[in-house]
Structure 1
Amino acid sequence: MARTSYRYIDWTLGADPAQPSHRRIECADCPAASGDSPGQLGPDRWALQHAGATGHRGYRETVISHLRATPAEDA
């Protein structure tokens, strides 16, 4: 009979360097939104311009970050 052995390892979870994060800011007072952007400046600028043009002050931010699990000994 063949013997089987198992090796349990620890894993880490971190940002996937091959996939950039994306941000989107939505107005909480109307359906307007910045659109998706890999950087912070575009959505922030949109929100400030929208606030200046409309007087709207509430916003929601959505950030999508891609993650990768790797064995701890590879980290």
Structure 2
Amino acid sequence: MSGRARYGFMDWTLLADPETGLRYAGECLDCGERSIDGDSADDAQLWCLKHAGMSGDKHFKLTAFQPFDALPSAVLGPRAT
């Protein structure tokens, strides 16, 4: 068996799903608890307020993010690059 390795390189493309859209989550910066992510910023903020009322914690973060897929560009064809 040879000690040489062979590597292949390819281009990748990131694609956001237009049907998914942005996702939002609230996170308590005092205790680290986090809401389930969803499609509503209002729901994430409401979770923060409820958590503050139940725990007394006062420091929160609202995160918005876009899920996406990484796919080899060759699978998508020449228009992906």
CA RMSD of aligned residues (A): 2.1
SS of the equivalent of 1:49 reads: helix
Q: CA deviation at 1:63?
A: 0.8
- Long gaps (5+) in structure 1: 1-14, 68-75
SS of the equivalent of 1:42 reads: helix
Moved over 2 A (4+): 15-19
**TM-score (normalizing by structure 1):** 0.58
- Long gaps (5+) in structure 2: 1-15, 69-81
Q: Which amino acid aligns with 2:36?
A: G
SS of the equivalent of 2:50 reads: helix
What percent identity do the matched residue pairs reach? 30
**TM-score (normalizing by structure 2):** 0.54
Q: How many residues align?
A: 53
2:26 aligned residue: 25
Structure having the larger proportion of residues in helix: 2
